[in-house]
Structure 1
Amino acid sequence: MEALLVSTGVVALAEIGDKTQLLAFVLAARFKKPLPIILGILVATIVNHGLAGALGAWITSAVNPEILHWILGFSFIAMAAWILIPDSMDDEEATAIRRFGVFGATLITFFLAEMGDKTQIATVALTAHYGTPLLVVIGTTIGMLVADVPAVFMGDKLGSKIPMKLVRTVAATAFTILGAVTLWSAWGGLKL
């Protein structure tokens, strides 16, 4: 249960101000059709994070547990630093919106925007850390929806009201704590 809750919370925080949330704002403002946008986000996230969860599970089986703890600890801390850097949406992502309709554009752009993104890498790391891919993928998917569904319904009006620096700081702090606990565990100070 911890894997589900931590994955949900960390990804929800990390997603606020992320390029995929900006993409949700753009899609909502342009199409004003929340249901196909939300379904596109859901399907894209399940597929993307499912692949990330599978990679995390493979890493868990392929890498020595002691080395994995060190890698994960430093990965969580690197993720904390990365979260502090604001995202922006590329022009290519906006172009895809015009070609495939609301659901298709959302599905394609969200899937591509998540490739190598903070939340996808967090899914890999959280799966490797907890060893429960299904719970982590469910949690990260819920976290994405918690952050992006309000963006769909409130469009760009919500973006100006959220203290982005505070949200990024809280998310970075959560990843730093995960990293520190994991490194302490790797050093032998705590058994996880």
Structure 2
Amino acid sequence: MSSLQALLVSTGAVTLAEIGDKTQLLALLLAARYRRPWPIAWGILVATLVNHALSAWLGAEIARWLSPALLRWLVAGSFLAVALWTLKPDALDEDRTALPARGAFIATTVAFFLAEIGDKTQVATVLMAARYEPLWQVIAGTTLGMLIANLPVVWLGHRFADRLPLRLARTLAALAFLLLALWVAWHGVG
């Protein structure tokens, strides 16, 4: 079980953090505009893999540069900040709704990659890569979490999103990040 810890923690944390996130709204917008779920699903996968691989690499590099004590408190504090950030509902920025008219796959790939820059799940990916090894499990887990949270929105559309208890989901995600912060503060990063 401990050999899959990075994969399981990364999947669970990102799945919870994505509920109600702007990327779910983006998935809904893309599904409504293009009505082609498979190219949208592939676009989400490609964009997330690239974005989260770069983020995980950055997290691993940060972990190498910092002393274990400093890294411990930075990661714990960052998880606490992400927990608080998770409580804030997201909304699509007006600028992000103007999608290129080149096709569902390209539009999804570009839009999801850009939407993830600086997003809480990208920050969480950096943090988990600084905390967990092997790195491929963090990348696979955060990508899987994005897919678990976003693909149902693509296929089930507006009806699914209207029935989702977003406040409860954000609260559970915040609690998960708070627990991660406490775990790292108590046990350290290594």
TM-score of the alignment, normalized to the shorter chain, above 0.5: yes
| Counterpart Cα distance in 2 of 1:64 and 1:156 | 47
State TM-score, norm by structure 2: 0.95
Change (3 A) 1:146 1:4: same
State TM-score, norm by structure 1: 0.94
Equivalent of 1:60 in 60, 63, 73? 63
What is the Cα deviation at residue 29 of structure 1? 1.3
**Alignment-derived partner of residue 51 in structure 2:** 48
| Counterpart Cα distance in 1 of 2:187 and 2:145 | 26
**Alignment-derived partner of residue 178 in structure 1:** 180
Determine if the alignment matches structure 1 residue 80 to structure 2 residue 66.
no
Q: What are the residue-to-residue correspondences of 1:15-30 with 2, within 5 Å? A: 15-30=18-33
Deviation string 1:39-92 (CA, Å, 9 cap, x unpaired) is: 000000000000001001101111111110000000001000000000111222
Gaps of 5+ in 1: none
**Alignment root-mean-square deviation, CA:** 1.2
Equivalent of 1:151 in 147, 150, 153? 153
Aligned residues: 187
What is the Cα deviation at residue 33 of structure 1? 0.1
**Alignment-derived partner of residue 8 in structure 2:** 5
| Counterpart Cα distance in 2 of 1:100 and 1:118 | 28
| Counterpart Cα distance in 2 of 1:27 and 1:99 | 11
| Counterpart Cα distance in 2 of 1:7 and 1:33 | 28
| Counterpart Cα distance in 2 of 1:85 and 1:148 | 19
Equivalent position SS for 1:160? helix
| Counterpart Cα distance in 2 of 1:81 and 1:90 | 20
What is the Cα deviation at residue 6 of structure 1? 0.6
- Structure 1 counterpart of 2:72, one-letter code: H
| Counterpart Cα distance in 2 of 1:178 and 1:185 | 10
